[in-house]
Amino acid sequence: MHDLLLIAVIAFVTLLTRYLPFLVFKNKSYPVIEYLGDVLPYAIMAMLVVYCLRSVDLLSGNHSICEIIGVGSVILLHLLKRNTLLSIIGGTVIYMLCVQIIFI
């Protein structure tokens, strides 16, 4: 019983945090919120790229070739297709093939 109650409380709090902005900002439009909605996705993606590549040593042999190929393939796919999901999946597949097959 304790576990079910705990799950119910966690589910309620999760739903509350999801719906609270819609309840608070019903039909109001705030320029700051619109600005953050436009800017944050790009900022988050840039931070994730920096976080993922922070430990890559570009000067140590061929250890960073797969990372460069992966990032380059994501950029190329996105410039060609303009599809974020395709770019991420394609870059991940190319990186994993490079790591698992080419550079064992």
Domain extents for the chain? 59-104
**pLDDT confidence of 34, banded at 50, 70, 90?**
confident
Going by the DSSP 8-state scheme, the letter that residue 1 receives in this structure is: -
Closest CA to 95 of 77, 74, 70: 70
pLDDT, one tens digit per residue, over 39-74 is: 998 899 899 889 988 888 877 766 688 888 999 999
> Does the pTM exceed 0.75?
no
* 3-state secondary structure (DSSP) of residue 26: coil
Contacts of 16 (CB under 8 A, 6+ apart): none
